Amino acid sequence: MTERLTSSHADITRAAAILRAQGLIAFPTETVYGLGADARDGRAVARIYAAKGRPSFNPLIVHVADAQRARALGKWSDAAQALADAFWPGPLSLVLPLRKDAGLSDLVTAGLQSVAIRVPAGDLAQDLLRAFDGPIAAPSANPSGRISPTTAAHVLAGLEGRIDAILDGGACGVGLESTIIGLTGAVPTLLRAGGVPREAIEAQLGFALAHPESSMISAPGQLASHYAPNARMRLDAKDWREGELTLGFGQMECDLNLSESADLLEAAANLFGHLHLLDAMDGAQIAVAPIPQTGLGAAINDRLGRAAAPR
């Protein structure tokens, strides 16, 4: 069952409690409805992918109440300050270098060393962020491959019964996703066109935005800068070979186990963290036990396949 919640104080408090209990809340922002989870909790974030049926783990936008909270997550710069001053709260996301002490689940950043952050302008989004008092990871609240929802009815048509609750705030004003600006390289880069026009951003910065290598970023799973370990990867390993670092699933002997109880939610939450840990052990090869291709297993296998791809 998906609870219907309103903008009342009691319902906002209820929504924040659901987030604290690793639940999923759809909530309106000024752009589109987001599907929110506690961005610090891997299992909660894994549920987002399960509910959306996303075929791969793409990094998610982290929503915070104000720029001060954003600064605790990403490394700040003059450009970040200028854009935050001009456009936050509002339909702009900034991709910043991830701070080591950010405390985010690495499922949110898909194991990258950067994080997309946004301060939404919608009243209900702000009320929820302040009641929860923490970062909320939220992609658009639609099943994977379907169009983004701008009303509560759109959300329920796609996700009824798959999410804990929806905060109904009527129709979204902007109706288009946020503009995403990359601030991790030498020049600010337009990664996705959206609610804030590029001209407005360039006027604020006083120079032109760079273009990404290609416009790959909006297509799920197409992100160029996927996390890839230094070690070679051997997937679907039914036994372990001499000298390998081993990543297990289910009851077995191994260096690290994605989930001893073969729970795909737990495996998803552990995936990037475990790969990072194994990679830090400096072995030549990482072997990974077979992961079932059902439910979240599809996204886990997709991401393992990318990590194993020749480069």
Cα distance from N-terminal residue to C-terminal residue, the chain: 45
Give dist(CA 213, CA 208) in Å, integer.
16
Binding-site member from 180, 190, 247, 304 for ligand TXA (CB under 6 A) = 180
DSSP β-bridge partners for residue 246: 287
Return the bridge partners of 117, or none.
62, 94
Q: Is 258 left (phi over 0), alpha (psi -120 to 50) or beta?
A: alpha
With CB under 6 A as the contact rule, the residue among 12, 18, 24, 29 that binds ligand TXA is 29
Nearer to Mg ion, 140 or 184 (CB): 140
Q: Is 68 exposed, middle or buried (0-12, 13-18, 19+ CB in 10 A)?
A: exposed
Residue whose CB is less far from Mg ion, 59 or 182: 59
Per CB under 5 A, the segment of 105-113, 133-141, 276-284, 290-298 that binds Mg ion is: 133-141
Question: Rounded to the nearest whole angstrom, what is the least distance from the CB of residue 148 to Mg ion in the complex?
Answer: 5
- Among 105, 140, 270, 301, which residue interacts with Mg ion (rule: CB under 5 A)? 140
The residues pairing with 245 across neighbouring beta strands, listed in sequence order, are: 286
What residues between 67 and 96 interact with ligand TXA by CB under 6 A?
Answer: 91, 93, 95
Smallest gap from Cβ 303 to ligand TXA, in A, equals 13
Q: Residue 135: which of Mg ion, ligand TXA, none does it interact with, CB under 5 to 8 A by kind?
A: none
Q: Does 218 bind ligand TXA (CB under 6 A)?
A: yes
Site map for Mg ion, 182-221, x if CB under 5 A?
----------------------------------------
CB of 220 to Mg ion, least distance (A): 8
Give min distance, CB of 16 to Mg ion, in A: 24
Cβ nearer to ligand TXA, comparing 177 with 244:
177
Backbone angles phi and psi of 300, in degrees to 5: -65, -45
* Least distance CB 298 / ligand TXA (angstroms): 18
Q: Which of 25, 61, 131, 267 binds ligand TXA (CB under 6 A)?
A: 61
> Shortest Cβ distance from residue 189 to ligand TXA (Å)?
10
| Gap between the Cα atoms of 298 and 54, Å rounded | 9
Residues engaged in binding Mg ion (CB under 5 A): 140
Residues that bind ligand TXA (CB under 6 A): 29, 31-32, 34, 58-61, 91, 93, 95, 109, 112, 114-116, 118, 120, 138-140, 177-178, 180, 191-192, 217-218, 223
